[in-house]
A and B are shown apart, each in its own frame.
Chain A
């Protein structure tokens, strides 16, 4: 069974540029999560989807971050414009039940 797929794996951009991350969850998992992990810290939830609906986006900085999950499968997370402080690893996870989440390898973003 394929795991959670994320792309790109690495991204280097200059500040003020836009960037987008893509996630393909495990087949059949209706819940999808985006986390941000700063260096030396644990992951923090940005947004959680149940099918197409964003049910928890309280930690998403809505002035520059946006996310979508069309057709309740793949998801994209976008940052526009990126700031230096956005440098982090962005993790996607999916689940059938909320306490058993499967994580992708993450996208390491560096903003110069």
Chain B
């Protein structure tokens, strides 16, 4: 059974700092991996999607990497801003028989002005 873990559970950084969020998964047979952002009282917004054949994806100040063989992904946020404060969730899509998104527990990020 696929399990997705995120470390750390919470992170507080001063504005302007670069930071890395970590995600690990137990079964490397994934179709793709996504990073989502969740703001209080709002739904999830997809930030980046990395196909299993890709190593990384970039969008603005965000860069996500994927090492499928080791079951790891990182989300790098450059020059953090208070507006980046949110919960970040990674999710693996296993395609195939179950066709499911399996989410990690999330990292609560607070960027201090």
**Chain A positions near chain B (C-beta within 8 angstroms):** 3-4, 9, 40-45, 48, 56, 91, 93, 98-101, 103-106, 108
Contact = CB atoms under 8 A, between A and B. Distances in A.
Interface of B: 4, 9, 31-32, 34, 41-46, 49, 89, 91, 93, 95, 98-101, 103-106
Given A42-B89, A43-B103, A91 B32 contact: no
Contact of B4 (A42, A103, A104, A108): A42
A100 to B, nearest CB: 7
Nearest to A31: B99
Contacts of B34: 99
30 contacts: A3-B43, A40-B105, A41-B105, A42-B4, A42-B89, A42-B91, A42-B103, A42-B106, A43-B44, A43-B89, A43-B101, A43-B103, A44-B103, A56-B98, A56-B100, A93-B44, A98-B93, A98-B95, A99-B31, A99-B49, A99-B93, A99-B95, A99-B101, A100-B46, A101-B46, A103-B45, A104-B43, A105-B43, A106-B41, A106-B43
Nearest to A55: B99
Contacts of B91: 42
Contacts of B32: 99
Majority secondary structure of chain A interface residues (helix, strand, loop or mixed): loop
A56 to B, nearest CB: 8
B4 A4 contact: no
Contacts of B46: 100-101
